[in-house]
Amino acid sequence: MLKPPSDMPMYGNIEKSPLDFSEVDTRLPMLVYMSREKRPGYDHNKKAGAMNALVRASAIMSNGPFILNLDCDHYVYNSKAFREGMCFMMDRGGDRLCYVQFPQRFEGIDPSDRYANHNTVFFDINMRALDGLQGPVYVGTGCLFRRIALYGFDPPRSKDHSPGFCGCCLPRGRKASASNANPEETMALRMGDFDGDSMNLATFPKKFGNSSFLIDSIPVAEFQGRPLADHPSVKNGRPPGALTIPREILDASIVAEAISVVSCWYEEKTEWGTRVGWIYGSVTEDVVTGYRMHNRGWKSVYCVTQRDAFRGTAPINLTDRLHQVLRWATGSVEIFFSRNNALFASSKMKVLQRIAYLNVGIYPFTSIFLIVYCFLPALSLFSGQFIVQTLNVTFLTYLLIITVTLCLLAMLEIKWSGIALEEWWRNEQFWLIGGTSAHLAAVMQGLLKVVAGIEISFTLTSKQVGDDIDDEFAELYEVKWTSLMIPPLTIIMVNLVAIAVGFSRTIYSTIPQWSKLLGGVFFSFWVLAHLYPFAKGLMGRRGRTPTIVYVWAGLVSITISLLWIAINPPSSAANQQLGGSFSFP
């Protein structure tokens, strides 16, 4: 769409413009729009397949050593962020960085951030903490990659701790007995390796495909991505002025080759999607791709700029938000049941980094315990027994220590990250909402895929707005029913009915036990407080709540009441006190 710029700067002034461009280089970089081939019978692998096709086409047409990945709903908000990311890559030791991840910032979010769309706890606490280990995880957008790391090579000066194949360019174990030379598996890609016999070029078509243009571009990209050798401490550097050479002119053969590498058959019998490029086979291909790089010994950096680097949009509708969380959680369950589970990570990954990746695959399973915890207060009110039989000193001391520890941890997170208390509380609320709905469904879907082989289909995040064009947040009040709403709605109704049952029992009992009632009611209200944004989202506005919400609420309430009467029917004394008798049919 735009041809490559000339080698010499172009200065000029635009006529009839109040701005002075006489000292501004007005050249524009080459712009290429790619639409890859898709045919029936070929799996195009969605976003991961598109990214791999872009990597191959760009390698032939421009071959930049660094690649910026942005989603379609994100844009550049701070052009200087490119320079800050490059500073990490070109710094001393920066040749061991596989990518620089920027935080995601969003526009169009409602002022109260009802569904924690900003994800400030994740981006301003978790990701910054990972930056002190081996680096943050790759979140799918706003990321500056080193091209050679995407090709599946080990980082420079890497030390292998175990035999076998881990994704680098050559089989392991060859020439391991050489006395004065490094074994092949410890060698990173070098320009000179293509001139000698140290690398077996016959294996490259099996890994990268049969494009000679693509294979020839690999050492060039590696060399151009090296840091400048301006100090004796810089290892694996490039000499000054090595990049000030004119670029090759694009001709018909190069364009034809770029078209060839994006065809649907090119990846057949290659390692694209398995060890090279974006990894296939998971809904969350971004996390898996970053995990593979860290597993080979690469490091990453989290770059938080003073002015947001990129901005995008996020779903503010409850249903769309739940579907988004469902997709993320489903990918995490897939990771847990795959070879990308951090339990099988190589020894090149640090212990704490391994624990962080292990948490990525485990967190959806916490929904099982969340469901139990949300129903426990209601069970206490229904049965008339407190959650703990005896409130002795030991239990109260233990409860106090746990509570104080959690409060101190929350204060530390808020103080260290600089986020507001309201943002932290919104995150806690939606953690419970998502945990009792989307996470639970993701676990069930993951188990069905592993046990029964049923493939998982997911809904893309909706980009449409509400009907009211005069209201920026009209989409927030739309209520679109989904089965994911059933578990949280059930929890709300069970706890409300339980509170009513508890009050009725205490009021009409001979010896009211208000302490047990207050204890159960407090924990039930604590659960309901977390689910308040969910309930508010169901209500919509101006009487637009769907009828199905009331139907489900009524069915759940009647079912719970009749079920409890069947399990624990009222005594004869209670029937006489209420003025009649009741028998369950």
- The letter for the amino acid at 277 is G
Q: Is 480 assigned a ligand-binding role in the annotation?
A: no
Residue whose C-alpha is closest to residue 428's, from 111, 139, 106, 125: 125
Which residue's structure tokens are 């990771």? 335
3-state secondary structure (DSSP) of residue 83: helix
Task: Label the pairing between strands 105-107 and 310-313.
Answer: parallel
Q: Is 47 assigned a ligand-binding role in the annotation?
A: yes
Q: What are the tokens at 282? A: 């998971």
| Cβ 547 vs Cβ 417: under 8 Å | no
Which residue's structure tokens are 């598109």? 50
> What is the DSSP-derived secondary structure letter of residue 227?
P
Residue whose C-alpha is closest to residue 64's, from 182, 179, 172, 147: 147
486's CB contacts (< 8 A; 6+ apart) are 552
Task: State how far the Cα of 583 lies from the Cα of 571, in Å rounded to an integer.
Answer: 11
Radius of gyration of the chain from its Cα atoms, rounded to whole angstroms: 29
3-state secondary structure (DSSP) of residue 134: coil
Q: What are the tokens at 172? A: 């392991």
| Cβ 321 vs Cβ 106: under 8 Å | no
Q: Is 197 assigned a ligand-binding role in the annotation?
A: no
Angstrom CA distances, 330 to 71, 364, 442, 488, stand at 20, 8, 5, 19
Q: What are the tokens at 405? A: 């520890």
Number of residues assigned to the chain: 585
Percentages (nearest 5) of helix, strand, coil residues in the chain: 50, 5, 45
**DSSP E strands, 236-302:** 299-302
Q: Which residues belong to the annotated binding site for UDP-alpha-D-glucose?
A: 46
List binding-site positions.
Answer: 46-47, 71
Residue ranges at the known binding site for Mn(2+): 47, 71
